[in-house]
Chains A and B, each alone.
Chain A
Amino acid sequence: MSTSDQQASPPRLGVPELLIGVGLLACAGAVAWQTLAIPVSPLYSKVGPRVFPYITMAGMIVLSLLLIVAALRGGWQPEEEKETPTDWKAMGLVVAGLVANLLLIQPLGFTVASVVMFVLVCFGFGSRHPLRDALLGLVLALAAYFGFARALGVNIGAGLIENQLNVLINAVLGIGKG
């Protein structure tokens, strides 16, 4: 008896999928709010700047409802994704690295911020040699900084290390030219 009951039971609700559907619906709401905030001149009534946002909003509402229906029917995650537990510790360390980069890049410059991020991310991925990683990160960050800043002409936030090296390089080039 109980086995037949189990077979007849409705598919389980896909909770993360439901959250995604609801989240998308909220995004559609944000789109509606921002669309209403677009000033429209009455002279420009034919196809103004609001038409496409409204079409996009309508599409997002329909899609989010379809996602919610799919979530209520049990979600769409493949079994292997569901079965593999998420490594929260590793993810947390990567996020910590990203946040550290964001907070340090202005006060201390790109290189220092990158080295801190590099070490944290390596640690998150299971590397247990923070000193070696720091050295590697330093070399990579300086290569990236001078590759981009000098070769591509992209301005990346310079800190103490970069400024000292720039002075040094300019001095060497100056001597070379002189």
Chain B
Amino acid sequence: MDTLGYLAHGFAVAFTPTNLLWCLLGTTLGTAIGVLPGLGPALTIALLLPITYQVAPEASFILFAGIYYGAMYGGSTTSILLNTPGESATIVTALEGNRMARSGRGGAALATSAIGSFVAGTIGTLGVAFLAPIVVKFALAFGPAEYFSLMVLAFITVSAVLGSSSVRGLTSLFVGFVIGMIGVDLQTGQPRFTFGMGELLDGVDVIVVAVGLFAVGETLYMASRRYAGKDEIVPLKGSLYMTAAEWARSWKPWLRGAAIGFPIGAMPAGGAEIPTFLSYAIEKKLSRHKEEFGTVGAIEGVAGPEAANNASAAGVLVPMLTLGLPTSATAAIMLSAFQSYGINPGPLLLTTQANLVWGLIASLFIANVILVILNLPLIGLWVRLLKIPAPQLYAGILVFATVGTYGISQSPIDLVILYLLGAAGFLMRRFDFPTAPVIIGMILGPLAETQFRRAMTIANGDWTVFYRHPLSLTLLSLALIGLVGPHIWAWIEHRRTRGPEHVPGDA
């Protein structure tokens, strides 16, 4: 079967009444948590992981994918009306979107962001459907050494290249490695990092880590920052329908944003920050209304980054489904859901789990349609959600954090670990350490170790296997360039600009 045939089959799976209901539930929940500050798709999917014991894989992945896409739509609403980006990917949307809302054009900003998300999300999902089979053909040539090198590349790009500091990003990643190693070593049966505690033999559940870092850590941080200035909700003014001029100014940024977002998301680097910032810079340069940027708010500055954000969110699914390589915290938690079903995402997934994968992709198209309806005519509902006062919101988040954690094994030890991770999450948030690499390191670290040991066993303990294979060598070289390159470049820049400033003898 070709891609279209598979896709038709996928729609047959997704269009069953129950799966449509899961999709509706996921998109609604996703929009809600996207709108609410302090809640994100990674945390929500982690809390819902127990559902994998109850329902078929298709149903839970359609639910998770709906949450994933929905959070992107909902996040932009918060950025535009509250100026508090709900997700790191919507920081750029807040730049122009909030200014538009303040100058009375909030309706148009919300409309261009929702329709742009729909356009780019649909293009991105088409990209997943057509690119995934191609990547699979390529990935079938991968041996354990290549997989390990690819994971090293992903580790470097996720933690060192993105974000404000490579040292802090890598620190988060290594903390994730340590958490991932806790428990019984699957190959030899030896307990590792258990500190002699029987409770740790099964390892630390990803639910506890995600909830600790994202829910408890975030709540502590918000409590500690009460003296910081508060953002006010800008009342929604203006029609939700864009004028002809606004359509004319929006459609090109949507397409450009999708063209930037999808490829960057699909690379084993992931992250929505780079494509959104890139799209913003390009739109600012190309716009004929430069005077609106940073003053009353330019619609191009909302349309482009929002499209880039959603297209890259779709792109992230390509390495996740074809290589089992998650490049965002949400994707890493979805990977652990696959593991919970005993499914190993990788090149064989598209054929062995055709129902699941193509049903999932088809449901993403449906999710986009539902989301644009949920987020335009029903926008008033979500604005009301923004008015939930902070005390009750954060207290409620902690109640759900307890449910998710204590429900795993009714062990107070889990709560103690949760609070320790919450304290770590607070410190990380306060001192600007990224949290996503912890989750990625924890999920992907053990997989990288397995591939590493497999490669070494095949090569009879010969370390050179990683650079004797040309593909593996290429991937490792790219990782090295990613790690060292920016520093060398910064150093050269520094040397060049430094010269005249430091001329001695200021007298």
A residues near B (Cβ < 8 Å) are 16-17, 20, 24, 27, 31, 34-35, 38-41, 44, 46-49, 51-53, 56, 59-60, 63-64, 66-67, 70, 76-78, 80-81, 84-88, 90-91, 93-95, 97-98, 101-102, 105-106, 110, 113-114, 117-119, 121-127, 133, 136-137, 140-141, 144-145, 148-149, 152-157
Contacts and interface: CB of A to CB of B under 8 A. Distances in A.
Contact of A106 (B228, B412, B445): B412
Contact of A94 (B165, B190, B220): B220
B399 A144 contact: yes
B202 interface: no
Is the interface on chain B under 10, 10 to 19, 20 to 34, or 35 or more residues?
35 or more
B174 A60 contact: yes
B314 to A, nearest CB: 28
* Interface pairs A-B: 4 shortest CB-CB: A125-B391, A154-B407, A127-B391, A121-B395
Would you call the interface of chain A mostly helix, strand, loop, or mixed?
helix
Contact of A76 (B50, B432, B456): B432
Contacts of A122: 391-392, 395
B227 interface: yes
A118 B392 CA distance: 8
A38 B431 contact: no
Contacts of A124: 223, 391
Given A31-B193, A121-B394, A152-B51, 6 more contacts: A34-B192, A49-B188, A94-B219, A125-B222, A133-B395, A157-B410
Contacts of B224: 86-88, 90-91
Interface of B: 48, 50-51, 53-54, 165, 167-168, 170-171, 174-175, 177-178, 181, 185, 187-188, 190-195, 216, 219-220, 222-228, 389-392, 394-396, 398-400, 402-403, 406-407, 410, 412, 415-416, 419, 422, 427, 430-432, 445, 449, 452-453, 456-457, 460-461
Nearest to A78: B432
A90 B390 CA distance: 13
Nearest to B190: A49
Nearest to B423: A95
Contact of A47 (B167, B181, B228, B457): B457
Nearest to A34: B193
A84 B228 contact: yes
Contacts of B181: 52-53, 56
A44 B461 CA distance: 11
A86 B222 CA distance: 10
A51 B148 CA distance: 15
Given A56-B177, A137-B395, A49 B192 contact: yes
9 contacts: A49-B192, A94-B219, A117-B398, A121-B394, A137-B399, A140-B396, A141-B399, A152-B50, A154-B403
Given A17-B431, A127-B391, A148-B407, A48 B220 contact: no
A59 B453 contact: no
A104 to B, nearest CB: 10
A90 B219 CA distance: 10
B191 to A, nearest CB: 8
Nearest to A66: B167
A59 B176 CA distance: 12
B53 A38 contact: no
A121 B219 contact: yes
A98 B419 contact: yes
A125 B223 contact: yes
Given A90-B226, A125-B226, A127-B392, A113 B402 contact: yes
Would you call the interface of chain B mostly helix, strand, loop, or mixed?
helix
A31 B460 CA distance: 27
Contacts of A41: 188
Contacts of A88: 224
Given A46-B457, A49-B190, A125-B223, A117 B53 contact: no
Nearest to B221: A91
Contact of B391 (A84, A95, A117, A121): A121
B223 A90 contact: yes
A131 to B, nearest CB: 14
Contact of B223 (A66, A78, A91, A153): A91
Contacts of A38: 185, 190-192
B431 A155 contact: no
Contact of A56 (B178, B399, B410, B427): B178
Given A105-B402, A121-B398, A31 B178 contact: yes
Which of B226, B453, B457 has the most chain A CB atoms closer than 10 A to its own CB? B226
Contact of A126 (B168, B391, B412): B391
